[in-house]
Structure 1
Amino acid sequence: MPPLVASSRSFQPRTTLLVLLLAVFAFALLQSLINPVLPALQEDLDTTQNLIAWVMTAFLLSASVCTPVVGRLGDRYGKDRVLVASLIALAAGAVVSATAPDISLMLAGRVVQGVGGGVLPLTFGIIRDELPREKTPGAIGVAAALAAVGGGVGVVVAGPLTDAFGIRSLFWIPAALIVVAAVASRVVVPPSPARNPTPVSWLATVLMAGWLVALLVPLAQASRWGWTSPAVIVPFLGAAALATGWVVVEKRSDRPLIDMRMLRSTAVWTTNLVSLLFGVSLFAVMAFLPIFVQTPPQAGYGFGASVTQAGLLLLPMTVTMFLAGLGSARLAGRFGARQVLVTASALNVVAVVALAVEHDRRWQIAAALALMGVSLGIAFSTMSNVIVAAVRPDQTGVANGVTANVRTIGGSVGVAVMSGILGAHTPADGLPSESGYTYGFAVLAVAGVAALLVASLIPVPKPGATTQGPAVPSG
């Protein structure tokens, strides 16, 4: 082991945590910075609205597949090493996108950036390894909340950065921050105390990638191809077959990408389903609401906002998300995690319904987003700690990694569905109609209602119980 890594043992856990939080923040920032500038990026790349939506979808799809794979590689080769490699890949993908002359290379760069999705499960695992057990739940909650807050910050600062340095700076600046995080991680994060030599199941990886692609592509294109056309139905059937095969392979694997046995715990599967459904609304709103507010009023809706103004409209969500995340642990301790998640889910439904029916004034948008921020801030931190309480200590990292991953999968679905709905309500060479956004937000509200119902099924921990999860092999 090189002396540089060996000497890192002298760093305190607090220093390690700060470096990990920097990595999480840098990842979240790059993930969200381009959301408000999609219309400008579409013009810059001379492409269509349908293709520019894949700038988000390609990233989320890649992250959905790469997140569990990178987590497993961390178990085998060392979380510290794989974290640095993930950050390098994230920076490399950002450079590719920053220099892309057309949409194809832009999408290629976004796919490479999706490898950075592994930063979250690796962070959770390193926190579990390096921090005292009693501090683990709080630290994981902070990391989960920071991932959400970083996304909000990216939306807010995208406009000023674009005005000052140009649209491609939205890739160059986070790339520089990611390089700093990679160097700091190499110096500070201690080597993993344990390794597992079991190889990654590449068959499960291919099957997972296959069913996600087969599901998302027709979802995004169904409005153009027709819901009953073979081009839509055949991929859907293929997605079902591939997903079934993936589940079978995962259940038989000693080291599955996503542990199906762990998911049998009621607390785990309900929390993960709530996370997926929250991801549907979060990523779709973050991707398309900036486009809505930038639409010229001549279209019958929108405010003709600049990129900076669009970001400022989303600022209330970022602020309330951060503040709510800080208070979530106290709320869960007083009222119980299930009640807190049910309340957060209800607030999310109210917020998305408000966006669907009341979006004629800027204050209406800001108020709905502030309410959504409260919902998301409470929910994300609470879900992380529900998982911590529901599994064995050695499963903390992988279990929270799964929760983050299914949220990303939900985001992939949400963006694809919203893109498809808007596509169905967009005339040739025109802008989406207002009804497209109304129907789209209404569908997101349906996902929110489903999250509310599932949250009510989360079991209440028995007094004195430390875990609710079954005894399953660690991930």
Structure 2
Amino acid sequence: MTPPSTSPTSLLPNNAVDTPGNSPRRRPAWLVTGVLAAAGMAVSLQQTLVIPLVPVLPEAFDTSPDTASWLLTVTLLSGAVATPVLTRLADLYGKRRMALVAMSVMTLGSLVLAVTTSLVAAMVGRGLQGLAAAIIPIGISILRDELPPHRVGFGIALMSTTLGIGGALGLPLSGILYETSGWSSLFWVTGSFTALILVAVAIGVPESRTRARGSFDLVGALVLSFALVTLMLFVSKGGSWGWASPVTLGLLVASVVTFAAWVPSQLRRETPMVDLRTFSRRPMLLTNVASVLLTVGMMANNLLTIPFVEAPEATGHGFGISVMGAGLVMIPSGLAMVVFAPVSGRMLNRVGGRGTLLVGALVMAVSYLTRPLLAADVTQVVVATTLCGIGAAMSFAAMPVLVMASARPDETASANGINSLMRSIGMAGASAGIAALLAGLTTTHVVDGVATTHASTSAFTVGFLTCGVLSLVAAVTAAFIPPAAASRRGTTTLGRGIGERQRVVGDSAA
């Protein structure tokens, strides 16, 4: 209990403000968790829904493959720009408010995609959908603020794994809807789902009482957005444009120069767009490095497995499975992430974020390093992908816990937003790297008198082993994250530490 001589608001950080008048009656923990997890799943569904349709997009929009690929790129770019901006606005002006804004924009994007046959309009719709990428970090920070301490671990674990869950479920759903009802059906169905979740968020999610003081750094946001756009274009399009081409190198130089100008300007501001001092601390820095590496592994689980099983048997490794069948192969890994959400939550409370991240990274490493051996039949492939999903579930549950252990309560949305941005960079890097790998190592074979070219067995072997090594590097990185007892907040475990800080802020706001 707070001593009578202590003002409740004194327990908040110096630049945080308590706004009890803006907070409605507390909702049940199961309702808040379920609604936000559904919102996160809707976001990940929209992000991955178009991936299986990449081969048919040029014909659907009567354009070239390179132009059609912008339907994927524009979502990545808008998400990269929106995530740090919306999460900062969430800390300043309300997390539920910004979640509603993001969900509304995503619903609008789905409507545009459902009714248009224009490539330009479709790109606008995909860009609007990408803006909702901030839902997951904002949702995690809401759970940290609103859930009772014993529920925080499970809530964060479930919310963190929605990216993988939605992705795994979205792949077969995309194929089924497209083959049965066409392009627009994808977005009528998912858009309706998003609209329902928007209403659920409005009704079932309370507004957080903890706000950051200060103003929004508009200039800093614009400069950061330009730096991120040029960086993401370099990473995502460098393979198709040529890594040594003037345009690609120009993007890299522009990004580096812009970041070089942006960093000192942020250090000089009293209320910066991103508190770089916080993100340069060892726990936060190492967590973000591990996040990039493990996101590559999570993405590669889809990007390598699907073409692997779709390849003709004549390649020596494929099974000739259809697009829909390949999506079904990935469902067990998504379901495993759901099942392991409560397990990850308990791990967070028992061994803390660092231990959970370390174990998850090692499980992912084992799944990839054994993949060249687990390829005799589809069942073995499913076992390997499911093991990767289990490791990803643990790893992604631990990341926000470690991030929030190093962040002030009033900057949790921003901190998770930057971590989410690191994951986006990992996703872009995985997509570009694997595309280059599969295009660079190929084999030609003849079926029914027709010569066709596919990625060779060695390409997949290199990809699997590389992801295994990256996961091992992530595990080593996790091992060097300081234990929670050494953090500036002095908590005994990262999982319990979040519960204690949530209780302090909640008590002060009551």
Counterpart AA for 1:27? V
Q: Distance in 1 between matches of 2:409 and 2:186?
A: 38
- Tell me what 2:455 maps to: 433
Judging changes above 3 Å, is the alpha-carbon distance between structure 1 residues 264 and 295 closer, same or farther for their aligned structure 2 residues?
same
Secondary structure of 1:261 counterpart: helix
Q: TM-score, normalised by structure 1?
A: 0.85
Correspondence for 2:127 among 111, 120, 124: 111
CA separation of 1:301/1:61 partners in 2, compared to 1, >3 Å: closer, same or farther? farther
User: Of the candidates 149, 163, 188, which is equivalent to residue 165 of structure 2?
Assistant: 149
TM-score (normalizing by structure 2): 0.79
Deviation track 1:308-336 (CA, whole Å, cap 9, x = no partner) reads 21111112211222233321233345555
Alpha-carbon deviation of 1:436?
4.7
- Match of residue 313 from structure 1: 329
Question: Cα offset for 1:157?
Answer: 3.1
Distance 1:301 1:45 in 2: 33
Following superposition, the deviation at residue 278 of structure 1 comes to 1.4
Which residue of 48, 52, 70 corresponds with 2:86? Answer: 70
CA distance in 1, matches of 2:460, 2:327: 19
Deviation at 1:177, TM superposition (A): 0.9
Q: Is 1:160 the equivalent of 2:176?
A: yes
Q: Deviations over 1:129-175 (max 9, x none)?
A: 43335543442232213343232222243333334433432222111
2:213 paired with 1:190: no
Identify if the C-alpha distance between structure 1 residues 296 and 96 changes in structure 2 by more than 3 Å, giving closer, same or farther: farther
**TM alignment of 1:130-145, pairs within 5 A:** 130-133=146-149, 135-145=151-161
Check whether the contact 2:78–2:130 (CA below 8 A) recurs between aligned residues: yes
**What amino acid maps onto 2:55 in structure 1?**
P
Structure 1 residues 421 and 203: CA distance shift in structure 2, 3 A: farther
Matches within 5 A, 1:65-464: 65-133=81-149, 135-193=151-209, 195-196=211-212, 198-223=214-239, 225-287=241-303, 289-297=305-313, 302-335=318-351, 337-355=353-371, 359=375, 361-424=377-440, 432-434=454-456, 435-462=458-485
Task: Report deviation, 1:457.
Answer: 1.0
Do the aligned residues in 2 keep the contact of 1:6 with 1:190 (CA within 8 Å)?
Answer: no
Deviations 1:200-235 (A, max 9, x none): 323333333333333333444444554444333332
Which stretches in structure 2 are left out of the alignment for 5+ residues? 1-20, 444-450, 498-504, 506-510
Residue 8 to residue 41, structure 1, CA distance change in 2 (3 Å):
farther
User: In structure 1, how many angstroms separate the alpha carbons of the residues matched to 2:190 and 2:282?
Assistant: 38
Aligned AA (2:470) = A
Cα distance in 1 for residues equivalent to 2:234 and 2:452:
22
> Percent identity, aligned pairs only?
29
- Aligned AA (1:160): I
2 CA distance for matches of 1:425 and 1:99?
40
Give the C-alpha shift of residue 38 in structure 1.
2.8
Residue 368 of structure 1: SS of its match in structure 2?
helix
- Once residues 138 and 350 of structure 2 are traced to their aligned partners in structure 1, the CA distance between those partners, rounded to angstroms, is 31
Change (3 A) 1:344 1:264: same
Which secondary structure state, in structure 2, belongs to the residue aligned with residue 254 of structure 1?
coil
The 3 A distance-change label for structure 1 pair 310 and 84 is same
Contact 1:317–1:372 (Cα < 8 Å) also in 2: yes
- SS of equivalent residue, structure 2 residue 482: coil
Q: Helix, strand or coil for the counterpart of 2:152?
A: helix
Conserved? CA contact 2:106–2:131, under 8 Å? yes
Q: CA RMSD in A?
A: 3.5
1:155/1:324 CA distance change after superposition, 3 Å: same
Specify the alignment match of 1:465 in structure 2: 490
Q: 1:337 to 1:374 in 2, by over 3 A?
A: same
> Secondary structure of 1:462's partner?
helix
- In 2 relative to 1, CA 111–432 (structure 1 residues): closer, same or farther, beyond 3 Å? farther
* Counterpart residue type for residue 148 of structure 1: G
Would you say the 8 A contact 2:23–2:207 is kept in 1? no
Checking the alignment, whether the CA contact within 8 Å between 1:250 and 1:258 is kept in structure 2 is: yes
State the aligned residue count: 467
Counterpart CA distance in 2 for 1:333 and 1:75 is: 26
Deviations 1:53-97 (CA, angstroms, capped at 9, x unpaired):
443333223212211111122234332222212111111112223
| AA at the equivalent of 1:249 | S
Give the secondary structure class of the aligned counterpart of 1:162. helix
Q: Supply the distance in 1 between the matched residues of 2:27 and 2:360 (Cα, whole angstroms).
A: 38
Shift of 1:51: 4.5
